[in-house]
Amino acid sequence: MKIRKLLAGFFAASLLLTTACKDDEIFENDIVKGAYQGGILLGVEGGFNKNQAEVSYLSSDLSTLSENIYASNNDNQPLGDVLQTIAFKDDKAYLVVNNSNKVEVVDRYTFKKTATFQAEQARGIAFAGNYVYVTSNDFFSTYAVNVYNATTFAPVKKLSFDRYAEKIVSVGDQIVVQTDGSTYEMTPPYNEIPTGHTITTINSTTNTVDKTITLTDNGIINDMISANGFAYVLSTENTDSYIYEVNTKTGTFTSSKLAGIKAAKLRFADNKLFFADSDGNIYSKGTAANTTATKLFKYAKTTGLYLYGLNIIDDKVYISDVNFNGPSKVMIYSLQGNLIKTLSAGIGVNGFYKN
């Protein structure tokens, strides 16, 4: 009897110890880093010269939209003029504010500012090694990639180009820059006008230009992303579009034609490419050149508004309709085209980012 009681006591103690350890593991793994952990960040561009840039936060259950979270966590300081893009590196979010000529660095979970560094007419941002790369483009005379130290944000180098430096991504240790050049119409929907047709790679070890790659169609680059160890480039002509899969090490590429589709907003999720067309259709396509595009659904466009932001996050399609004269209309769909939620957000919602 005594042995049985001893054994029972031993097993009970072991069970308590195991349970306690598991509770500690759960606690450690579920540390809340800030109010904006999880959920979706919305980049709000704002009108040019109107100081309306902001960031909004949509909770993961899509029930709560918190607007202007930068100002509300930084003594009501305005973010600035024209939020171009948001990018993440570790626990930091980088807010590229174009017409304010700066990049604000914040804790991505609390949105408390940790640093600011200057970048003239900043457009895009990418990271490699111990460097931050920011494109500068004023559409008149400044076409460059500015290189910064990733720890101190001190300027390291400036690489200038003959044509516009626009979108920028990292592929391994290569930095890839859209250098095809374009200007914009002065009236809505502000279509791009081409002035060249190249992308350029930068060796991030030496911070020197490696290759200039000329694309083979006659359109303009509408988007560029990094995925699966390649750069994927979307180029659009008057009636057709092309998606290039670029090996940035060799400078070689394959391309697939999207016949009769004027495509925009190239995205990647679940090993597929996604994009939209000018009629409001949303498509998916495999990454291989020989796969065909599949139309998923057509979203409910609003008269007077046009698609400005698109992303696919956790099997949901996030779309913003914009005209800069008022709030943006944000729609969230399933991949099957079922409308899950519609909401009103700030002026010029241009991006959705999983946090």
- pLDDT of 219 reads 87
User: Cα–Cα distance between 84 and 107 in angstroms, integer?
Assistant: 18
* Number of C-beta neighbours around residue 286 at 10 A: 14
Q: What is the pLDDT of residue 28?
A: 47
DSSP single-letter state for residue 346: S
Asked if 204 and 146 touch (Cβ cutoff 8 Å), the reply is: no
Looking at residue 140, its pLDDT comes to 82
Q: How many other C-beta atoms can be found within 10 angstroms of the C-beta atom of residue 25?
A: 10
pLDDT for residue 303: 85
**Which H or E run contains 40?**
strand 40-44
Sign of CA dihedral 284, 286, 287, 292: negative
pTM value is 0.88
pLDDT given for residue 197 in this prediction: 85
Assign residue 100 a region (left: φ > 0; alpha: ψ between -120 and 50; beta: otherwise): alpha
3-state secondary structure of 85: strand
Render pLDDT for 267-285 as a digit per residue (tens, 0 to 9).
Answer: 999 999 999 998 999 999 9
Residue 319: beta bridge partners?
Answer: 310, 331
**Residue 117 φ then ψ, to 5°:** -135, 150
For the residues of 115-168, what is the DSSP string, one character each?
EEEE-TTEEEEEEETTEEEEEEE-SSS-EEEEEEETTT--EEEEEE-SS----E
How many beta carbons lie within 10 A of that of residue 123, not counting itself?
22
Instruction: Answer whether 352's CB lies under 8 Å from 41's CB.
Output: yes
Which of 238, 191, 232, 190 minimizes the C-alpha distance to 215?
232
Residue segments in the chain with a per-residue pLDDT below the cut of 50: 1-28
Q: Could you tell me which residues are beta bridge partners of residue 209?
A: 202
pLDDT tens per residue, range 289-342: 999 999 999 999 998 899 999 999 999 999 999 999 999 999 999 999 999 999
How remote is the C-alpha of 280 from its chain's centroid? Answer: 20
